Amino acid sequence: MSRAAHDVLLDLWQRGKRIGELPAELRPATRAEGYAIQAGLEATCGPIAGWKIAATSAAGQAHIGVDGPLAGRLPAARVFEDGAILDFGANHMAVVEAEFCFRMGRDLPPRTEAYTVDEVLVAVADLHPAIEIPDSRFDDFASVGAAQLIADNACAHEFVLGPACAVDWRAIDLAAHPVVGAVAGGPRHDGIGANVLGDPRVALAWLVNELSSLGVTLAAGQFVTTGTCLQPIPVGPGARVTMDFGVLGRVETAFAG
């Protein structure tokens, strides 16, 4: 079931198409079954550059119709540098998100005991401002439930990684840190780190422990983007996006018109 369901979702992703939901015989019933389907990406999409967390804010949870976080994989082929100009394509969600993104300096392998926030932070090499461009392979992504959304890679699509922070981010209260997002010609959107599970560092630890429960190592060199810290901002072809993290830096992208 896992491989067949993965093949359906991957084909939809590659062709920019959608379905109502997976066929009944392929539909995951649990989060674990959803993750088993998602894991097929590592065999079909090349190296995994990092991981995303969906639904770490109340707005993000409402947007996809779940009541808690979901983890997803980010293939290296879908990760872009600061300032990249992307094709908008058939993006169904049509939003961008501002995110705190941690790059790991050493492995965190699975273990029985949960990792603490402090243990996880010791393994971090850098912090980056980032933009996630999510999407779903489901017509009504807010109605299909967490298991199918996890199978659909937690609504992963494309990702823009900003430059590593040049200041000592460890001395900054990331929960209280403000972020401002805007599309050129549009209104200002204000966010704060506390919108990400109360603190982006807490969200990072959640991801580590979620992977640990699945028997997966968060590897050195991989990054974790921790979920949107402001309400998802609508975009379309021709949009130019800036996410300003103040002293932590800024990241930009645009969509071809």
pLDDT band at 14 (very low <50, low <70, confident <90, very high): very high
Q: What pLDDT does residue 58 have? A: 76
Q: Is the pLDDT of residue 174 over 80?
A: yes
pLDDT band at 1 (very low <50, low <70, confident <90, very high): low
pTM over 0.75: yes
Residue span of the structural domain in which 102 resides:
2-255
Contact (Cβ atoms closer than 8 angstroms) between residue 121 and residue 151:
no
Summarize the confidence of residues 152-170 as an average pLDDT: 98
Summarize the confidence of residues 241-246 as an average pLDDT: 98
Q: What pLDDT does residue 84 have? A: 98
Q: What pLDDT does residue 23 have? A: 96
Mean pLDDT of the chain: 96
* Angstrom distance (rounded) from CA 193 to CA 205: 15
pLDDT in tens, 56-101: 977 778 878 888 899 999 999 999 999 999 999 999 999 999 999 9
Q: In which region does residue 9 sit, left (phi positive, over 0), alpha (psi from -120 to 50) or beta (all else)?
A: alpha
Q: Is the pLDDT of residue 224 over 90?
A: yes
Q: Is the pLDDT of residue 16 over 90?
A: yes
Q: What pLDDT does residue 67 have? A: 83
Domain holding 62: CATH number?
3.90.850.10
**Total domains present in the chain:** 1
